């Protein structure tokens, strides 16, 4: 590679941390470039040796894409001091982080990676990637509830995007969203007079929980990876190494 990267983007490309966290590392003097202390805005290339706390970070790290069946009680955070944080629960030897969130009180599918670039490609609302949930509420609902959910509900001062809803039982439904606002389904139900008792995510785009027991994880299959890359508009989806 001949092009240079800003030092904070180097950290996100290698799945180490966010740009904000990288800036904090740099400001605290914990990052070096060719054995000199890095500064905010420094540019680096593949000929440079970057280290954090004295440990060299190699270029071209292998990309990891993992799916995990999150049980209720696990918190979707990389903060190590939080009890039952998702990183500690999985215990992967490589540095990974979750793509998006799933509430502590919710269960189901969540994806994790060390690929900092793919996160926004999956999460950005305008891309319209589907997420499917099964939801139980505290009392039976009628067709008006379904119609209101489908059309959009005003939460956090603006309406939600239209979605798809299917009744599964008198007080249980399936919902497919193309956005992921903070506690969105719970807030939508609350506006309409219902309290969510259980919320379970069964699908993100084409990726499902098939073959996973609660608390278990596995890498995406080659087919799942290829479909993921196709969905976010990447080429060369079969590659196992990062291209910086």
The residue behind tokens 């490609």 is 121
**Rounded Cα–Cα distance for residues 219 and 68 (Å):** 9
Q: Which of 103, 142, 157, 240 is catalytic?
A: 103
Interstrand relation of 172-177 and 196-204 (parallel, antiparallel or unpaired): unpaired
Q: Answer whether 64's CB lies under 8 Å from 90's CB.
A: no
The residue behind tokens 């905010």 is 40
Query: Is 103 a residue of the active site?
Result: yes
Residue spans of alpha helices (H) in 44-169:
86-90, 116-123, 143-151
CA-nearest of 219, 224, 212, 167 to 62 is: 219
Q: Which residues are catalytic?
A: 103
């Amino acid at each position: 590679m001949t092009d240079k990267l800003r030092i904070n983007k180097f950290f996100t490309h290698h799945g180490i941390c966010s740009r904000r966290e990288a800036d904090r590392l740099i400001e605290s003097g914990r990052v070096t470039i060719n054995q000199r202390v890095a500064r905010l805005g420094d540019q680096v290339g593949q000929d440079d040796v970057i280290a954090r706390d004295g440990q060299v970070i190699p270029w071209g790290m292998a990309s990891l894409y993992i799916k995990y069946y999150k049980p209720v009680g696990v918190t979707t955070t990389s903060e190590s001091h939080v009890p039952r944080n998702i990183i500690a629960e999985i215990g992967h030897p490589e540095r990974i982080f979750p793509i998006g969130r799933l509430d502590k009180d919710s269960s189901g599918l969540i994806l994790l990676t060390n690929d900092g670039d793919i996160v926004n490609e999956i999460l950005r609302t305008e891309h319209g990637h589907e997420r499917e949930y099964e939801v139980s509420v505290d009392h039976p609902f009628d067709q008006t509830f379904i119609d209101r959910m489908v059309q959009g509900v005003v939460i956090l001062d603006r309406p939600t995007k239209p979605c798809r809803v299917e009744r599964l039982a008198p007080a249980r439904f399936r919902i497919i969203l193309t956005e992921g606002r903070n506690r969105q389904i719970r807030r939508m139900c609350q506006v309409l007079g219902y309290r969510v008792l259980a919320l379970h995510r069964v699908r993100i785009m084409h990726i499902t929980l098939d073959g996973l027991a609660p608390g278990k994880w596995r890498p995406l299959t080659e087919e799942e990876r290829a479909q993921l890359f196709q969905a976010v508009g990447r080429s060369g989806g079969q590659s196992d190494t990062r291209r910086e």
